[in-house]
Amino acid sequence: MRTQVAIIGAGPSGLLLGQLLHQAGIDNVILERQSGDYVLGRIRAGILEQVTVDLLREAGVGAGVAAGGTVHHSIELVFGGARHPIDVHGLTGGRVVTAYGQTEVTHDLMQARRAAGLATVYEAADVTPLDFDGDRPRVSYRKDGSAHVLECDFIAGCDGFHGVSRKAVKEHVSEYEKVYPFGWLGVLADVPPVSPHAIVYGNSERGFSLCSMRSLTRSRYYVQCPLDDKVDDWSDQRFWDELRRRLDPDLAGRIVTGPSIEKSIAPLRSFVAEPMRFGRLFLAGDAAHIVPPTGAKGLNLAATDVKYLSSAMIEFFSERSPAGIDHYSQVCLKRVWKAERFSWWLTSLMHRFPDTDGFAQKVQEAELDYLVHSKAASTALAENYVGLPL
């Protein structure tokens, strides 16, 4: 089989890249290790920057987020028993974020890909990128016990943090990593969100908490938990009680509880692999970088990687110009590192660290107090939260 671009991974990065390339008349095939249902079953991101919403529209899948997304003009920080609004819209000259789940984004992209009759090989085993240091790259894989080779012009490694693409170039990659000494216990429940128009980030002496949503009838909540906690340690009742303890009394009193439909613990890390291009192989999204979810940047960074990569490939195929692909890694990493900094900063500010001494705790409290009372500091938070300009 032959295609112009072989895409490894059918998460948001791979599906969005496939859609943008298809819109430009560039043939592509996606090879995905899991089943489509398995990919859709993963509960992950929930907040889209405007750049991402615009990209979904450009990819021809903007209808879902336009109909089902909830626009947020502000966020709220809860600490010291009080809630502090940050007017993101006002501080950034009218920019906003949209609450719309990664699951829904993935569903919309899958539906568009199916409707366009594009090739996606689910449950592809032993996917292996080959010969990408020359101009005739290939990807081998197994499907239903048979061996296959996909010949192509480019390979896009959109296979996430645990994928095969970065592993294929491990001797050429510089890795930068920070692992955090806690995780996030997340609960999804079909109850109305306690704060439908502002994501609430809490820092209490018991730890971090987050009140988010997927729709006006489905909520997403998180509490910081020790890394050695297990999901089975947390009954729904224990989760709701702990979440309430970490919020201000007014908000705690308004939480609508209900049975969890998903409950999971995610570890937090900051990670960057440099560079992101190796001959005809390109890394995009979580295959190249990971951020702690505090800044809601993971999915959005994946989207902007894909914006840069699709533009570079379209330029190559339409003008035979290598300029975009030659600058891909450098352009992406400039944006990636700014998102890594912001996500590390907000994580450091909003979580309780087991090894924090008295002085560091006082400094954290002073920084929170300064942040919500300084227009300059709030503006810096707001402009990073809505996403820096491309």
Tell me the catalytic residues: 72, 201, 293, 297, 385
With CB cut-offs between 5 and 8 Å by kind, which of ligand PHB, ligand FAS, none does residue 294 bind? ligand PHB
As a whole number of angstroms, the distance between CA 149 and CA 161 comes to: 24
Give the position of tokens 């896009």. 156
Strands 70-72 and 97-99, by their bridges, are antiparallel
CA atoms within a 13 Å half-sphere pointing along the CA-CB vector of 230: 2
Interface with ligand PHB (CB under 6 A), residue from 6, 7, 47, 332: 47
As a whole number of angstroms, the distance between CA 145 and CA 374 comes to: 62
61 binds ligand FAS (CB under 6 A): no
303 binds ligand FAS (CB under 6 A): no
Residue pair 309/17 in contact by the 8 Å Cβ criterion: yes
Q: For ligand FAS, what does the binding mask look like between residues 88 and 127, x meaning CB under 6 A?
A: --------------x---------------------x--x
Main-chain phi, psi angles of 186, to 5 degrees: -110, 140
159 binds ligand FAS (CB under 6 A): yes
Residue pair 348/59 in contact by the 8 Å Cβ criterion: no
Instruction: Give the nearest distance from C-beta 43 to ligand PHB in angstroms.
Output: 8
Residue placing its CB nearer to ligand PHB in the complex, 15 or 75:
75
Instruction: Give the nearest distance from C-beta 166 to ligand FAS in angstroms.
Output: 10
Main-chain phi, psi angles of 253, to 5 degrees: -70, -15
Interface with ligand FAS (CB under 6 A), residue from 31, 168, 198, 331: 31
Residue placing its CB nearer to ligand PHB in the complex, 137 or 202:
202
Angle at 389 between CA 388 and CA 390, to 5 degrees: 115
220 binds ligand PHB (CB under 6 A): yes
Instruction: Give the nearest distance from C-beta 8 to ligand FAS in angstroms.
Output: 5
Which three-class secondary structure state does DSSP give residue 225? strand
Instruction: Give the nearest distance from C-beta 345 to ligand FAS in angstroms.
Output: 16
Residue pair 132/280 in contact by the 8 Å Cβ criterion: yes
- Closest residue to ligand PHB, Cβ-based? 46
- Which part of the chain contacts ligand PHB (CB under 6 A), choosing from 41-49, 130-138, 272-280, 359-367? 41-49
- How crowded is residue 5: how many other Cβ atoms within 10 Å of its Cβ? 24
CA atoms within a 13 Å half-sphere pointing along the CA-CB vector of 341: 11
Instruction: Give the nearest distance from C-beta 85 to ligand PHB in angstroms.
Output: 16
Q: Which two tokens stand for residue 26?
A: 């560039």
* Sites for ligand PHB among residues 275-304 (CB under 6 A): 293-296
Q: Which residues bind ligand PHB (CB under 6 A)?
A: 45-47, 199, 210, 212, 220, 293-296
